[in-house]
Structure 1
Amino acid sequence: MKSTSLILLFIVSFLFVTSHGLSEIESLLKFKKSLVIGRASALESWDRKNPPCKWIGVLCDKEYVWGLRLENIELSGSLNIEALMGLKSLRSLSFMNNKFRGPFPEFKKLGALKSIYLSNNQFDIKIPNDAFDGMGWLKKIYLEQNKFSGEIPMSMAKLPKLLELRLDGNRFTGQIPEFIHKPHMLNLSNNALAGPIPNILSTMDQTMFEGNQGLCGEPLEIKCYSPYNLSSEPKASSKTKSSKVLYIVAAVVASVLAILIILGLIIVLCRRRRNKQPLLSPEPGPSSLQKRAGIQESDKGQSSCHSHRAAKRMIHTTKLSFLRDDKGKFELQDLLKASAEILGSGCFGASYKTVLSNGSIMVVKRFKHMNNAGFEEFQEQITRIGRLNHDNLLPIVAYYYKKEEKLFVCDFIEKGSLAAHLHGHKSSGYPSLDWPTRLNIVKGVARGLLYLQKNLPSLMAPHGHLKSSNVLLSEKFDPIMTDYGLIPMINEESAQELMVAYKSPEYLKQSRVTNKTDVWGLGVLILEILTGKVPESFSQSDKESEADMANWVKSNFKGEWSKELFDQEMGKTNNCEAEILKLLKIGLSCCEVDVEKRLDIREVVEMLEDLTKEREGDDDFYSTYASEADGRSSRGVSSEGINLS
């Protein structure tokens, strides 16, 4: 009897899991039918042969679909929200940078949603007033850069957990509704809103309300007038009018006198500064960031009085934009006055280590190839990057935007870069890296790349600039990647000249970047870590660039351990030669010139995770190398390489 019950329980569980999986597949395929797909191959992975979690743009956690991120693939048609009701774990929808229009999607049928992203589409309708009723978990709504009209829905303002709201670049009219609480981020700029700004929003940045001619009140410097003050009044007597004129004349005279007095004082102060000692305390010494980096530095031909005024005006009219809340806030002025030490000058600009007055150590990176990035484009991409959270990515703490000046502020990582440990440890005093540490670094970088690919699906190469100098090492020698997600913000000419992604075989030969370009960069990094060679030393005049490192390894690899091939600074390998050889083969498969035969990042991560789990039978595996290298398979590398199937 007991065994019968167990069998029944197993059958019921199996049927539940099966029906759950089928229901998600059916829901997604039904939703797909409502879409008009501009790129024929964009959703070709949405097929019953594959589980939903393998489909492009489908985000999963433990095989449950929690999000759809279908961005920048020219989708149009209608969004059949009802079809998605079968996805019980669905929490996030993103359809940014597509061509959707028509009626507003019925998101309220998905009451558990936490985020909605519809930015940069072609919606040109009014949003129903009850469009967000019952969505008690909704935290983020991004509707900017459409043509939405009518009033802002009251149901939106009543959302209890709303944190981020972007409605800028639309055609909303009427008054701003009374929000039940103040969102952390709100942008209503460039609409046709009118009337007073609610008090709860009066402390927000005034740029969030600009471009609405009819708005008044704080934080705008436009006073609101009551309609009662505009009603008709009895005509004032001529005596009253004349007295008003006298008051106006007196006020003008007093203002002119005050201005003359102030100008006189300024002239006296400037003369005293030139002829005597300065009245103000001197600026920080040459160790300050402002002096070392030349940020907003005044022309040398200006007088000291004018220079001081210009610097002071710059400090008080600019501020940092923070992407993280777990760091203590500081101002741009604090950075400019802080002691600074140059860490290095890369292809994008110099990096400076600064020590703030509270003891915090930060790194300020100054970018000089972003001048073509418009504010909206820049802010959209930097906000996406700011939402990323992974142990192997260095988060951006804050940024400063100006057309001719972009600064990123990050935490300082004490151990320095992987490049310094691999190639400069003797001069820098860093210890050499042993084999377990190198393997751990490769695994961490691969995990970080997989995370980037999942969370920045609109970018073909979400890192785009992977190299050893852009991998920092934490206190425990875990890898932390920097300079990721920059391709949309870097000037196109500069990106093609400087960024690693544009040195890949597919770009050099076919002028294209693919979703496996970062895998090629990872392969080069693996070979660099194992051989200790500098990839740039293999560059040739025929512009084969880093790909030549893979050719060098292939020509010198005979299928067995070789002291000439591997970096002797790894020290004792403790009988791990088989693992090292297997990692080398993974690296070569990542460097496959034919993109179709190159591993994808998910496969790389899985192979790396299994690397230390399969020690038995390794001798048999590697002994087959010689015979496998002569043949080819759909998973193998080039004819000179290794077959991993």
Structure 2
Amino acid sequence: MRRLSSPFLFPFSLLTSAITITILNAVATSAVSPDGLALLAFKSAVSGDPESALASWDEDDADPCRWPGISCANLSSSPDPRVVGIAVSGKNLSGYIPSELGSLVFLRRLNLHGNRLSGPIPSQLFNASSLHSLFLYDNNLSGPLPPSLCDPPRLQNLDLSRNSLSGNLPVQIRGCRQIQRLILAENRFSGEISAGIWPEMVGLIQIDLSSNNFDGPLPPDIGELDSLTGTLNLSHNSFSGSIPKSLGNLPPAVSLDLRYNNLSGEIPQSGSLANQGPTAFLNNPALCGFPLQIPCQGTISAGSAAPPGNRGEAPEADSSPSRKKGLRPGLIVLISMTDAAGVALIGLILVYVYWKLKDKERKNGCSCTGKSKLGGGKMDKGQWRCRFCCKGTEASENDDDDDDENDSGSAGNEAGEGRLVAMDRAFEFELDELLRASAYVLGKGGLGIVYKVVLGNGVPVAVRRLGEGGGQRYKEFAGEVQAISKVRHPNVVRLRAYYWAQDEKLLISDFIPNGNLAAALRGRSTNPSLSWSIRLKIAKGSARGLVHLHECSPRKFVHGDIKPSNILLDNDFNPYISDFGLNRLMSIAASTNPHDATPAAPGGFIGAALPSSAAATPRPAVDRPNPYRAPESRFPSARPTQKWDVFSLGVVLLEMLTGRQPETAATHVAAGSSAASTSCCSTEEKGAWPELVRWVRMGFEDARPLAEMVDPVLLREVQAKKEVVAAFHVALACTEPDPEARPRMKTLSDNLDRIGQ
């Protein structure tokens, strides 16, 4: 083995020696800091730089904090600024990752995705003890996962997808107790996943092991991950055996994906497994049961189940020559041809009758694309003939005619039969077209499963599956949907249609193709880092959409759940407010008793998260805190107001400015001065405010440098510093603890529009 390995190690040793000599020469000829030397080692390891991304990384420049892609911070433990972030992504760099990067002990974020780096991931890289996020996806890295992967105690985000990494999933990975997102998709990992890994990883939110070569049974203990809230993607592997019943213990918000495996047996109908859509289990040939349309063969037909002894009850029949020989082949063929001809004739008759009825319908002026109404919402005689062909349309347009008892009764019948109701006449399609289309799970949470569905004409839509109850409350549901569909603004997701039946309720809206703001800010988007101009564009558009909801819509709505994941982005980064009005609809869809509904709050509120005392279903015992909610919303008796949305948008704006999530800002607060911790706010306010709001207020009161507070990505845009400061002041005004001190959404929008003009 030594003879075989030495020829391969010798060139690598020469290369390492050359890099070391280069670094020593740099030390002798310049005053580059130790962090700068580690960065120069990375530059030396890059063999190809077609876009000259590292050209200005120069050993003659003693301050690496000025190099492109490098972020620094002043830390109390060091007199000089230290490197805390490296972001050189999408530059087509070729080469390898040097071990010297592990000497950056204050490095928090390493983002090298979208390059052509190859070779193994050096184990010394994880000597960077402050490492929080590691994004190496979309490269050509190979080899196994380093055993030192979990050495950094703060590592939370690990994305190594779309590489050529191989080997087993090491048992040592269970030491990553703080990791939240583990994404290893599209690699060459193989073998069985050992038991005992997942119970140790108590902070996991998302797991993606798809498109690998894992085999063996699904690990049952993965069902113990009660921290999961995102996707558990195990698709496109070779897992076999049955689905463990323990996977039903996963939280209801988890979106499960087990497609394209070799799983078999019946799908357990326990816990969250019963809430998954059919997409989660497709392309497992031996899998059966709900929600798949493949029944499990649990019984045997009556003929094959007859006991052998029963065949002797008619010996004379069995002994007859005709019974022994059976039917002659010619007679069998004749019977088969006669049956086929009969079936074909019946089919032709049915088709003929169908088209005759359609022709008669057209002659009588019956069309489901429109109708003429008399006074009071009554239909004329021509329309009455086609009433039942246009049930769904009638329900959508007559839902407000509560004084017509006949209309109300017909609505109840239509609800029971199930109809697709188009809210926009220019966006009509058939129910069969919707059900036949390919569906992809976009997400799953407390507001139902969301699918991306591509219709026959190529138009994608978002379909949200709400629930299976509320069969007696069609009129109420239709009224709420009508109110939501009337909200039309360039920055609000538009509701196009809905489907109502006793056992299924669907909402069909526009599909926004570029993900949401949360994914774009937190590195899980394919987009490059958001520039200041894009962030300002998103903030302004979001405020305009909320102004329309607050002041221009018929009911003057409150959204009540503004957060980055509810702000969708299109390909031009135009924002769209989503998930508007869903809480009210969910309370209707989940209830079968009309008196169980939560009445709309004054002003026509249908969008906010309702207090537990008024909710249609009780809250769980442990409710995950929402750092975007206003402090006053945490009181049980609080009623939603528009100032809630102002506070939430202010927190979102602070997240866009700082690049830090509200719930993870506590570590940065601790790094601030002790004096500031007592000056910014009272004890009661500290308990109500998100940590990010407190940290920013402390920074402004202490007059800390802007570079310590703003997202390092924005520091490159020097001309935007005045605009960033102005945006900070707008956000701080929105996050005042006193609701009366906060501006109206219209004022907030006007203040944002002035920035950059």
**Smaller-chain TM-score bracket:** 0.3 to 0.5
The two structures have a TM-score, normalised by structure 2, of 0.39
The two structures have a TM-score, normalised by structure 1, of 0.45
